[in-house]
């Protein structure tokens, strides 16, 4: 198969999904790989490294696409990229299409087979391609957010690193999933008193077995989160609440009660979802805004700040699935890998991701039904 790797053009995005060593394996397996010049530069992987691995370098994304049946990238395509996609191509990347109607329009009009990293799901319910970025986002949420407690970043001058004899800083983490647990561990390693809120009792028990001693885990159905949030120096949200919800984990009234100068880092960043006052996305160059004296951070590509680590972690997880797509093609890859089928957002002009259909009020059908309609067994 002809595989293409394009350079990310979303602002402040430096990750790359396919590394030179991955290219070597693909080429040895009989595939052709075309890489856009500079695609790996931000993560520390040179054009020369890709060339030595057997890739052909192309100067533009359009030329990469023209030579490719399968395009691999990290972030969802932005509008400036829409024109490079050809009818019937395979697209493998993060998509988060439920809040991006123009992206869905393009996927359907071009009849792309679009497989979303974040929705690839194994039989045990795990999301292996969401995990690595969730872990890094959780870790970095604390490290990035703590800067806005510092004086020179406009903060109140408080360190999130505990000092002997002084009261420990307080961090609240909402959610004990793939991002929440690493966030709690980093905060705990700094010496903070950490309160984690979760609704899944199984997840609570699992984390409790390995959590540091200064992490207390609460069932949010039983323990009211409000007084803990109000007393926190930092709140890290990793819980998923749909955008523009009627109910929030942190509403505007609770924000008003929080300590002035405290920080909310919304890793999930669903607008007006878990946090009512998160009403915008931010960037690494302009990461925060203030509501009622509380600093809000809602950068949507937190792992992009450590692009080399993030790229290596991502490539480690996606490569086995990429090999199935490349080796088997469509539709056989989906028959061989039910996990990949779960990740299909659109195929042959049919929308198959239920959240995009629900949020955008579009017709959709489950991926396995679309597969049978397009390629009857």
pLDDT, one tens digit per residue, over 149-200 is 999 999 999 999 999 999 999 999 999 999 999 999 999 999 999 999 999 9
Statement to judge: residues 110 and 160 lie in one domain: no
Positive or negative: CA dihedral 69, 107, 368, 341? positive
Q: What phi and psi, each to the nearest 5 degrees, are found at residue 214?
A: -90, 20
Is residue 58 within 8 Å of residue 36, measured between CB atoms? yes
Neighbouring CB atoms inside 10 A of 70's CB total 22
Statement to judge: residues 203 and 292 lie in one domain: yes
Closest to 54 in 3D by CA, of 34, 37, 81, 69: 34
pLDDT at 347: 98
Question: In degrees to the nearest 10, what's the CA dihedral of 53, 55, 56, 61?
Answer: -130
Statement to judge: residues 107 and 148 lie in one domain: no
Statement to judge: residues 89 and 144 lie in one domain: no
Residue 377 pLDDT greater than 80, yes or no: no
Statement to judge: residues 318 and 348 lie in one domain: yes
**Number of Cα atoms under 13 Å in the Cβ half of residue 171:** 34
Tokens representing 294 are: 């509380």
Residue 99 pLDDT greater than 90, yes or no: no
Closest to 295 in 3D by CA, of 245, 258, 320: 258
pLDDT category, 11, cuts 50, 70, 90? confident
Statement to judge: residues 63 and 165 lie in one domain: no
Instruction: Enumerate the active-site residues.
Output: 96
Do the domain assignments include residue 125? no
pLDDT at 287: 97
Is residue 155 within 8 Å of residue 216, measured between CB atoms? no
Give the end of a domain, one of 257, 274, 300.
300
Do the domain assignments include residue 360? yes
Q: Give the structural domain span for 243.
A: 131-300
Question: What are 196's strand-pairing partners?
Answer: 173, 217
Do the domain assignments include residue 124? no
pLDDT at 113: 98
Do the domain assignments include residue 153? yes
Statement to judge: residues 208 and 140 lie in one domain: yes
Give the end of a domain, one of 300, 327, 344.
300
pLDDT at 44: 97
Statement to judge: residues 89 and 184 lie in one domain: no
Residue 50 pLDDT greater than 80, yes or no: yes
> Mean pLDDT across the chain, nearest whole number?
97
Statement to judge: residues 189 and 162 lie in one domain: yes
pLDDT at 332: 97
pLDDT category, 242, cuts 50, 70, 90? confident
Do the domain assignments include residue 126? no
Is residue 333 within 8 Å of residue 325, measured between CB atoms? yes
Distance CA 313, CA 135 (A): 10
Statement to judge: residues 135 and 115 lie in one domain: no
Residue 230 pLDDT greater than 90, yes or no: yes
Is residue 332 within 8 Å of residue 34, measured between CB atoms? no
Statement to judge: residues 135 and 275 lie in one domain: yes
301-356: pLDDT as tens digits:
999 999 999 999 999 999 999 999 999 999 999 999 999 999 999 999 999 999 99
Distance CA 139, CA 146 (A): 12
> What is the SS3 assignment for 9?
coil
For the purposes of burial, counting CB atoms within 10 Å of the CB of 202, is it exposed (0-12), middle (13-18) or buried (19 or more)? exposed
Statement to judge: residues 263 and 334 lie in one domain: no
* CATH code: domain of residue 278: 3.40.50.720
Q: How many domains does the chain have?
A: 2
Listed in order, strand segments (DSSP E) in 155-298 are 170-174, 193-198, 215-219, 234-237, 263-266, 288-291, 294-297
Give the end of a domain, one of 300, 325, 352.
300
pLDDT category, 36, cuts 50, 70, 90? very high
For the purposes of burial, counting CB atoms within 10 Å of the CB of 363, is it exposed (0-12), middle (13-18) or buried (19 or more)? exposed
């Amino acid at each position: 198969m002809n595989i293409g790797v394009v350079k990310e053009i979303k602002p402040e995005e430096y990750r790359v999904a396919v590394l030179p060593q991955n290219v070597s394996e693909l080429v040895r397996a009989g595939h052709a790989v075309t890489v856009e010049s500079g695609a790996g530069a931000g993560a520390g992987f040179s054009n020369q490294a890709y060339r030595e691995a057997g890739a052909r370098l192309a100067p533009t994304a359009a030329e990469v696409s023209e030579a490719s049946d399968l395009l691999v990238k990290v972030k969802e395509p932005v509008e400036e990229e829409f024109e490079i996609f050809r009818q019937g191509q395979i697209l493998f990347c993060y998509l988060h299409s439920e809040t991006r109607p123009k992206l869905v329009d393009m996927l359907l009009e071009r009849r792309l087979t679009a497989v979303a990293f974040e929705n690839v799901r194994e039989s045990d319910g795990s999301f292996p391609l969401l995990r690595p970025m969730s872990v890094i986002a959780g870790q970095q949420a604390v490290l990035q957010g703590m800067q806005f407690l510092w004086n020179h970043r406009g903060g109140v001058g408080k360190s999130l690193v505990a000092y002997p004899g002084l009261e420990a800083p307080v961090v609240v983490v909402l959610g004990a999933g793939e991002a929440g647990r690493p966030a709690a561990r980093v905060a705990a390693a700094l010496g903070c008193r950490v309160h984690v809120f979760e609704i899944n009792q199984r997840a609570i028990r699992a984390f409790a077995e390995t959590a540091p001693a200064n992490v207390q885990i609460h069932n949010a159905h039983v323990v009211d989160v409000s007084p803990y949030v109000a007393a926190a120096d930092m709140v890290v949200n990793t819980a998923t609440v749909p955008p523009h919800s009627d109910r929030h984990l942190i509403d505007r009234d609770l924000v008003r009660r929080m300590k002035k100068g405290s920080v909310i880092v919304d890793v999930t960043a669903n607008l007006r979802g878990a946090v009512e006052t998160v009403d915008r996305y931010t960037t690494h160059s302009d990461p925060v805004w203030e509501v009622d004296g509380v600093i809000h951070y809602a950068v949507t590509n937190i792992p992009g700040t450590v692009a080399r680590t993030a790229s290596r972690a991502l490539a480690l997880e996606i490569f086995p699935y990429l090999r199935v797509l490349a080796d088997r093609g469509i539709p056989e890859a989906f028959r061989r890998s039910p996990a990949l089928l779960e990740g299909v957002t659109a195929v042959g002009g049919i929308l198959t991701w239920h959240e995009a259909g629900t949020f955008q009020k579009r017709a959709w059908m489950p991926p396995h039904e679309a597969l049978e309609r397009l390629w009857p067994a």
